[in-house]
Structure 1
Amino acid sequence: MNRFTTITDLRQYFLPLRSTHTIGLVPTMGALHKGHLQLVENARQENDLVIASIFVNPVQFNNPDDLARYPRTLEDDCQQLESVGCDAVFAPSVDEMYPEQPTLRLNFGELETVMEGAFRPGHFNGVGLVVAKLFNIVQPNRAYFGQKDLQQVAVVRRLIRDLSFPVELVRCPIIRETAGLAMSSRNRNLTADERNQAPALFEALNMAHDLLREGESIVQVKAAVDSFFNSRPHFRLEYLEIANADTMQPVDEVLAPGQTAICLAAHLGKVRLIDNLVF
């Protein structure tokens, strides 16, 4: 497996290959888990070459403490990637990606006003900048993102459409631990006791799903989820939203199959967790 830390070296490697090989890109911030590896395996099945990026992007963090706590495990990450057949890793420094502080600002419209956009101002500008740079640097045929960050998928979809990137966006299912907790790099920051409690997020999503199927209104479902977390004082629910799975805008009623998403974010100790269920 090839490892690159500079844009120049990566471009020189891929330049003669693009005309004869399809390239799949898996953007990550490292601290890899089985969900990331599944993205690589999906890319491996659909492309001639697979490259994963490992870059903790400071521009998308609006909380300095969150940036400082984000786990960094580069050597272990590279070993895991090699084990699932990744062809190349791009692990640049912050100075390599941002020689100067970026001044460009991307606005994703209504996506900035709800859920992650509302609670993490500036987050999607940072996501859009780094993804656009990776698309420009790697020039992949396909890019693979996990459904756990469903709103991020919508942002990347908008980025591809509005800037006419010749990239196919592939959304891959959430990979969960046995008890239902969505796999996330931030799970490493949970204590043992918090990790035992964390599957309550998936329990809440399933409860909301069942209530909606039984005909309960969205207002009633939100009230039930609030009550669920009020009885679990270790959690602080940040939001629960029932939204269009493509536009991420709130809906008043359940849409056609595959178009409704139940999304939530909650704090457990010092860790902020997000999850969703599309049905």
Structure 2
Amino acid sequence: MPLLEVQHLTMKFGSLVANNDVSFYIDPGQIVGLIGPNGAGKTTLFNCISGFYHPSSGKIVFDDKDVTTFSAYQIARLGAVRTFQVVKPLKEMTVLDNVLVGAFLREKQTGKAIEIADQCLDACHLGEFRNSLAGSLPIGFKKRLEMARTLATGPKLMMLDEAMAGLTSTEIKEAVRLIQKIRDSGVTLLVVEHIMEAIMPIADKVVVLEGGNKIAEGPPREIIEDEQVIKAYLGEKFSQRLKTTGIKNKQE
């Protein structure tokens, strides 16, 4: 049974159609990439799945429950949580307290919540900064802090919105390893990403949006050879370059 099913989802803002009849599913334990050009509707789709928007039509099923009209809080309590494209740390609170916000979603006892938060900070290589103010962290560390806060909720599904944007090449490699580590711990991931060299080698499946429409869905090897995807997003030269990044070895 899929962990997440998006069925014929349409999201309109007046006459603007941000998502148009989008359908796909995610099986437990997968890393699924959600890609496409700027303005394709990726973040709008995230907002619908996570309860920040209610779609104009269609259906969202998470863990065998119809959550189409659920609030963001209700969906998070069920185990579907997300990060944001623009990082949103609680700047005047410590790194530990930021992660405690996530931990308290599932654990009300302070001592146990602190234990969960520290485990998540260590997993995201932020333990030494637990008492620092979140606003003092550089951007790469703030991205990891969002992941730690999300992980502290005990998610079944983590949705990462451009978690690698603005990072150095070293930080991107660390983020990729962290995503794989989270998946190996039993968490399913849906990842919006523009850095194809990072997401393509680790994704089990890729969904491609363009102009609010789903134009392709499948394994990375098929996606980078899809003529419609090449024309709308990747470009011929970049598609050829991606074929040399290790995707073949992963798929075979």
**TM-score for the superposition, normalised by structure 2:** 0.29
Which of these two proteins has the greater Rg computed from alpha carbons?
A: 1
Name the structure where helix makes up a greater proportion of residues.
1
**TM-score for the superposition, normalised by structure 1:** 0.27
